[in-house]
Chain A
Amino acid sequence: MSMIILKAVLYIILAPLIGGLLSGVDRVISARMQGRQGPPVFQPFYDVYKLLNKQTTVVNSIQVLFVTGYLIMTIFTGTLFFAGGDMLLVFFALSMAEVVMVMAAFSTNGPYSIMGAQRELLQMMCYEPMTLLVAIGFYYANGSFMVNDLIQARVPAIVQIPGFFIGFVFILIIKLRKSPFDLSTSHHMHQEMVKGLTTDLSGNNLAFVEIAEWYDTVLMMGIVGMFFLTANPISRVWALIACAVVFFLETLIDNLFPRVKYITMLKVTWSVILVFAGTNLLILNVLK
């Protein structure tokens, strides 16, 4: 019991640090890929510190509740995962967090926010099937939904469910808001929808969203690592290497591709999920 609490507290404290650093590394690598020097690695922390020190303008007072809700739900999701909870509950809580964020954007009534919120819903439609399939895949591979049991596996899950891994890495592009599918926030400046979801957020509220995304990044990397973890401690090194490779791959994809229309996103993600995860699921079913 005390072990679970220790893990949860460690996650709550360390995740924003790791997530912020990952975000900073992402910006530096992106800049180097474009032939620029790029910001310092700690730039995301400077940004959030500044945002916390700015005036917060609120368009609709319910927005504060929703944004805080988004942060709390995201932290809850990650804590559940890293404390060894139920994979299914993790993914359901994760979609709840996203819905709360969408509500925050809808409540502002601004045209750009609403457009971003609608696109966010479309994005959720694209990746939700895959997140559920990942939980099911782990169940097929190791016979449990509990993270605690899954990390005690004898063979890494990737051996049995490589298709799910490919599908999950693919939807990570959407989850981490990377370029070809970065429809709802448009991280790079001056695009048709300003900042999408976060257009009408400022000061504290925007800082909370940033921090929630750091937690989210760490959670996603944790799930990537899950594919490689076994009872053997050396597997943790492999998991870390896999996380680093996947994160670099996402940054590379971000810099290689322009954004696409939502119809392309729907078609491509669902095809990838169907082809890789679907086939994998079928084979597992036949073999068992």
Chain B
Amino acid sequence: MKISKSPWVLHYDASSCNGCDIEVLATMTPLYDVERFGIINTGNPKHADVLLLTGGINAQTAPVVRQLYNMMPDPKVVVACGICACDGGIFKECYNILGGADKVVPVDVYVPGCAVRPEALIEGVVKAVGILEEKRKKLKESMKQGYCTVDYSKMAVHMTADDYDPSTQYDAVLTEEALREQAEEKIKATAKPAPKPVAPAAPAANAAKPVNAQAAPVATNNAEKGDNK
């Protein structure tokens, strides 16, 4: 059995003109019926495998896209739908457009078109689930070694108003590489004699402390928030 038999999709409109969004919805109509491939449009990043992005990224949607990407459990793939999501399209020169989706998150499949055809979209998602399968194999290996397990409970605890800066909160993208780097740092840190813990309680917090000290630069924001005990 392959996991590519049930790709659940999360669709996010990052400043699209709604042309591509309508085509995304059209794929679920009786004519195209993507559910026959097991594709479900979930509205929930925690259930999703494929992130469908439409439209160019602007300053306001960039943190949202990053947050959605971070919330999705591994393995995950990103599909940029339409020429705007691929590289900005006709809005590329606009003052508020950062560019395509790959400016903020790693994109796996580009589906060009204005608006993108439903057939092309389905083809893109099918390509994406192939990549999903490969990523899962990689993930299995890294999970064996203890990488790639993000504990969201650690990110939310003990947040004060000072910690919370909406402009920078979601600047980090927790890609697999970033997580791997973070885990390697952690292993390196724990190999040395660990610094004496202040309080013997909460061993999890103490174990995570060395990461905080030398966390990978990409993920500093979230890591700091988590270990702020």
- A binding-site residues for B, Cβ under 8 Å: 27, 31, 34-40, 43, 45-47, 49-50, 53-61, 189-191, 194-195, 198-203, 206
Assembly CA distance A172 to B51 (angstroms): 35
Whether A43 lies near B38 (C-beta < 8 A) is yes
The one of A43, A60, A206 in contact with B47, judged by C-beta atoms closer than 8 angstroms, is: A206
| 6 further interface pairs, Cβ-Cβ under 8 Å (given A47-B38, A195-B43) | A36-B36, A39-B35, A54-B75, A57-B151, A190-B41, A202-B47
A200 proximity list for chain B (CB < 8 A): 46
A49 proximity list for chain B (CB < 8 A): 1, 3, 5-6
Assembly CA distance A37 to B73 (angstroms): 29
The one of A43, A56, A194 in contact with B44, judged by C-beta atoms closer than 8 angstroms, is: A194
Question: Looking across the interface, which residue of chain A has its beta carbon closest to that of B3?
Answer: A50
Question: Looking across the interface, which residue of chain B has its beta carbon closest to that of A49?
Answer: B1
Q: Which A-B residue pairs are the 4 nearest by beta carbons?
A: A55-B73, A46-B5, A50-B3, A55-B74
A50 proximity list for chain B (CB < 8 A): 3, 5-6, 49
B71 proximity list for chain A (CB < 8 A): 57
Assembly CA distance A88 to B211 (angstroms): 53
- B binding-site residues for A, Cβ under 8 Å: 1, 3, 5-6, 8, 30, 33, 35-38, 40-44, 46-47, 49, 71, 73-75, 136, 139, 143, 148-153, 156
B152 proximity list for chain A (CB < 8 A): 57-59
Assembly CA distance A266 to B148 (angstroms): 45
With known contacts A50-B5, A54-B75, A57-B73, A194–B35 Cβ distance under 8 A: no
With known contacts A35-B30, A38-B36, A53–B3 Cβ distance under 8 A: yes
A55 proximity list for chain B (CB < 8 A): 73-75, 139, 143, 148-150
With known contacts A53-B136, A195-B42, A203-B73, A59–B30 Cβ distance under 8 A: no
Whether B40 lies near A189 (C-beta < 8 A) is yes
A194 proximity list for chain B (CB < 8 A): 43-44
Give the interface centre of A53, A56, A57 by most chain B CB atoms within 10 Å: A57
Give the interface centre of A31, A50, A189, A195 by most chain B CB atoms within 10 Å: A50
The one of A34, A60, A189 in contact with B30, judged by C-beta atoms closer than 8 angstroms, is: A34
A-B contact pairs, 19 of them (CB 8 A): A31-B33, A36-B36, A38-B35, A39-B35, A39-B36, A40-B36, A47-B38, A53-B136, A54-B3, A54-B73, A54-B75, A55-B148, A55-B149, A57-B71, A61-B153, A190-B43, A199-B46, A200-B46, A202-B47
Whether A57 lies near B46 (C-beta < 8 A) is yes
Whether A202 lies near B38 (C-beta < 8 A) is no
Assembly CA distance A194 to B73 (angstroms): 17
With known contacts A31-B33, A39-B35, A47-B38, A54–B49 Cβ distance under 8 A: yes
Assembly CA distance A264 to B151 (angstroms): 40
Question: Looking across the interface, which residue of chain A has its beta carbon closest to that of B139?
Answer: A55
B49 proximity list for chain A (CB < 8 A): 50, 54
B151 proximity list for chain A (CB < 8 A): 57-58
Question: Looking across the interface, which residue of chain B has its beta carbon closest to that of A34?
Answer: B30
B38 proximity list for chain A (CB < 8 A): 39-40, 43, 46-47
A203 proximity list for chain B (CB < 8 A): 73
Assembly CA distance A53 to B6 (angstroms): 12
With known contacts A59-B153, A61-B153, A36–B35 Cβ distance under 8 A: yes
Question: Looking across the interface, which residue of chain B has its beta carbon closest to that of A112?
Answer: B44
Measured between C-beta atoms, what is the minimum distance from A196 to chain B in Å? 10
B139 proximity list for chain A (CB < 8 A): 55
Assembly CA distance A47 to B39 (angstroms): 10
B30 proximity list for chain A (CB < 8 A): 34-36
Whether B6 lies near A54 (C-beta < 8 A) is no
Assembly CA distance A54 to B150 (angstroms): 12
B5 proximity list for chain A (CB < 8 A): 43, 46, 49-50
Question: Looking across the interface, which residue of chain B has its beta carbon closest to that of A205?
Answer: B46
